[in-house]
A and B are shown apart, each in its own frame.
Chain A
Amino acid sequence: MEALGFDVLLKGNNMLRLLQGLGVALKISLISVLISIGLGIVFGMLVSMKKPAINAVFNVYLEIVRIMPQMVLLFIVYFGTTKSLGLNLSAEAASIIVFSFWGTAEMTDLVRSAIISIPVIQYESSAALGMSRLQTQVHIIIPQTVRRLIPLSINLITRMIKTTSLVMMIGIVEVLKVGQQIIEANRKASPNAAFGIFATVFILYFIACWPISQLSKYLENKWAN
């Protein structure tokens, strides 16, 4: 094990520190996901009303998010606002703003496509059965929309967790940064620590994301049709 550098994990409280680093990343993604899902549902309903002005604004917003790497957005919000607006955002606040900005666009798009994917025949059949508009929404449309939406929103959570690995680039001490610190501190004692530490970080991310994406896949299959 020593040759592969896994021994470093057992020294001091290194493993605990790595897990705490992962905790920082998970906290940022959880907050951003909650904001994104909340705002995304509201915006998605607005967009599916098909008002030209709203849709035009949303399309520009979606295109920006679609083509700008999250890292560029992070730099703009973290470094750009400080220089040009004199705002002094903390790195965590900047990353939550960027990931919510990105996630909200994704979620809005998911909500919109879930709503418009409900066939017209569902509305017509409910009307033929004498349901009011409210009844149609509550008993027919919303349950079907939610079923289509839940697997996709769970998937958004794993994407958010993976994207938060970028925050080390603006100086947040998360799992990768902690890993680097441990490697630096043990450079003499265990020169191969880089392998063991980065392999561990790799596995930690996998353990965090895999169950969530399996759940999403399971629900998608279960609710298909």
Chain B
Amino acid sequence: MDISAITQYTPLFVQAFFLTVKIGWIGIALSLGIGIVCAFVMYFKIPVLTAIVRVYVELFRNTPLLVQLFFIYFGLPKLGLTISAEVCGALGLGLLGGSYMTEAIRSALEAVPASQRESALALGMGKGQLFGLITLPQAISSSVPAILANVIFLLKETSVFSAISLMDLMFTAKDLIGLYYDTTECLVLLVIFYVIMLLPVSLIGRAVEHRARFAIYGD
């Protein structure tokens, strides 16, 4: 192992790290937004939109991110829709994550026991109160573990961004290996930066999972 190579490459990896984290979190924020909207559409069974959401969720849950990115980045420009690699990465991650988040939030909403809704109605609550004060708070806390698992999954998926020539961690490692053939040093740096990116999220996920288990009442 060559220490001087590691010190030389570290700044490049730091740069790539921030780019990966930035696009990763933009994509995750996007996926949460899509997930919340789509989950509400499915929960309230809004006609027509429910069917569209269902098709979207099934399409994106059953195809790999790499294929989705290739389609968006190389396919869509042929229809006149050209977007930059960064926007494409965030958009692809957001669309993929949106389909997973939709499922997580929808199943949390549906998991609130019927007795909760019936009790709220028996207390004379209106529909808005029932959803805002009873269903939603319980659904939020019980969906947290699934959402965090999705966040970890999506952060890991950022590694395929290199395929659309986005200068992320993977791309930097591949590039440096190709240029200088310091394979071991680059792979060590790659692993270190992914650990920095994901270990905290994973540990928080575990801690929250234990607490969220007691969130649902009834049953």
Contacts and interface: CB of A to CB of B under 8 A. Distances in A.
A76 B78 contact: no
B111 interface: no
Contacts of B183: 79-80, 82-84
Chain A binding surface SS class? helix
A19 interface: no
A131 interface: no
Given A195-B75, A195-B78, A79 B70 contact: no
A1 interface: no
Interface residues of A, number: 41
- Counting chain A CB atoms within 10 Å of each CB, the highest count among B58, B77, B183 belongs to B183
Contacts of B191: 68, 72, 76
Interface string A168-210: 1100000010010001000000011011011101100110011
Interface of A: 4-5, 63, 66-72, 75-76, 79-80, 82-84, 158, 162-163, 165-166, 168-169, 176, 179, 183, 191-192, 194-195, 197-199, 201-202, 205-206, 209-210, 213
A196 B184 CA distance: 40
B78 A84 contact: no
Interface of B: 58-59, 61-64, 66-68, 70-71, 74-79, 152, 156-160, 162-163, 170, 173-174, 177, 181, 183-184, 187, 190-191, 194-195, 198-199, 202
- Counting chain B CB atoms within 10 Å of each CB, the highest count among A5, A169, A202 belongs to A202
Contacts of B162: 169
A70 B190 CA distance: 13
Contacts of A66: 152, 198, 202
Given A69-B159, A83-B183, A75 B190 contact: yes
Given A69-B156, A213-B61, 14 more contacts: A69-B159, A72-B187, A72-B190, A80-B183, A82-B183, A169-B162, A191-B78, A192-B78, A195-B76, A195-B79, A199-B75, A205-B63, A206-B63, A209-B63
